[in-house]
Amino acid sequence: MTVTVLFGLSLAELVALAAAVVLVLARWLPPGARRPSTWAGAAAFAVSAIVLAVLGIRWQLIPVLAGGAIALTFAALSLRRRRARWWPALPGSAACLALVLAGAAAAWALPRPVFPEPSGAYAVGTTVVQWTDPDRAETATSRTDDRRTVVVQLWYPARRDPAARPAWYLGRTAEEARLVARGEADYLGLPRFVLDEAARAHTRSVPDAPVAAGGGRFPVVLFSPGLGGVRTQSTAWAQELAGRGYVVAALDHPYDSAVVTLTDGRTIRTRVASTGDQAEDDRRAAGWTAVRAADLSFVLTQLGRLDRGEIPGLLTGRLDIRRAAATGHSLGGAAALQAARQDPRFAAVIDIDGFPRDPAPRPFGQPVLALTHDVKPGEEPDYLSRLTRVLQLSTATSYRLTVPGSAHLTFTDAPLFLPPLPTLVGSLGRTAGPRVTAAATVAFLDAALRGEPGDLAAALSRYGHLTVL
């Protein structure tokens, strides 16, 4: 596995970059320094290129290698001429330097995600299951015998095994990871190569690792991703919770998630789409939210069966269904709110920057934590007011926390591998967004599901502007 050293680059990539720059500049050094600089740069460039060819060359490094190879040619020619003219070489050197810097910028902007080490007492295991609800028809297809199926990834407290190979980020296998990355890129309208590094990434969890000994039954946190999102979109958050003694169950919603791979080999692409008509889009969003809310309740039922041994699995006898939270990001947050209103088995709710979509909101009894991005004056005028009205329907104390410097994707894994543009992933940097999301939600879950004492409002206030309802 390639280890990132600096600016999203591995050691071999950094050497190739530095050598390419030396080769570009060598042509312009004094005659006494030109020859040793050229030979040293050529040697370092050749060795690093060979290493990269063996390990695998990322597309971001192709301009670096191309620029370095051309610069090497210029530098070698200049060694043969005692008084080479400078003006014909100037455009070439500038073009080579531009190639090298463009590759370096691409590697920095689109790195392979490096997931933070979970800070809890447990190692983290992960497994993927697929469940079909015999009582619900699949409304996205015309087949009358097609039942609703969901794919669920579980992260859970596990035994430590330093020799175990970590799980792929976007799928169970390298092939599934590539399929998911391509599907997400297609859904977002991005070139597929933009998510190449995410497809190659590994996480901090181990596939099918033995469950941690001791600890009794673990509270359960169900998670629904954003519209078109996939179950792994908040892996950093899920691993942090699992390391602290929670079991996280994240859902793929077929025909909604960008791409879902089923156990029979089928790959299901999303069918959600905007029409451009606000009223029609609101109606569709309400329908998608209702399906997701039913998916969350169904998965909670299945987790109960898994705990009782009615479904075979690693976590039999280790799940505390009485301490379960419905959570989600964006449309998934709206689904979590609706699921809790419809299903009193959920003991708490976390809405991560989700606009409420419940067409018939009514009072409910669970406490809610609503994380919102840094909404600017005049931006999304209905969002906070509608969210506040829904939170006020809870008969328990609820919290709305606005995180300064955040954007909609700040609360996902996106800052780890997308360009660090404030309008895209906020201004909190690559790691602060996932860290703040995890810290705030853990504080809320510890209070709501574990009954841990302390001033929750004070704890949450450390992460942003808090409103207590």
pLDDT for 427: 93
The DSSP code for 111 is P
**What is the enclosing helix (H) or strand (E) of 326?**
strand 319-329
In the block, tokens 């929670």 appear at 246
pLDDT for 55: 85
Q: Which is nearest to 319 in space by CA: 345, 339, 350, 340?
A: 345
CATH class label, 123-468? alpha beta
Contact, 195 vs 178, CB < 8 A? no
Contact, 326 vs 336, CB < 8 A? yes
Residue 137 dihedral angles phi and psi, to the nearest 5°: -75, 150
Q: How far apart are CA 200 and CA 182, in angstroms?
A: 12
pLDDT for 276: 83
pLDDT for 86: 57
Contact, 20 vs 102, CB < 8 A? no
Q: How far apart are CA 402 and CA 461, in angstroms?
A: 10
Contact, 349 vs 368, CB < 8 A? yes
Q: Which tokens is 215 given?
A: 């600890």
With 0-12 / 13-18 / 19 or more C-beta atoms within 10 angstroms meaning exposed / middle / buried, residue 348 is buried
Q: How far apart are CA 451 and CA 348, in angstroms?
A: 12
With 0-12 / 13-18 / 19 or more C-beta atoms within 10 angstroms meaning exposed / middle / buried, residue 398 is buried
Predicted TM-score (pTM) of this structure = 0.92
Centroid of chain to Cα 456: 27
Residue 318 dihedral angles phi and psi, to the nearest 5°: -120, 5
Q: Alpha-carbon torsion 134, 137, 138, 141, what sign?
A: positive
| Residues of the chain predicted below pLDDT 70 | 1-7, 80-89
Q: How far apart are CA 267 and CA 260, in angstroms?
A: 6
Q: Which is nearest to 436 in space by CA: 394, 407, 397?
A: 407
Q: Which residues pair with 123 in a beta bridge?
A: 158
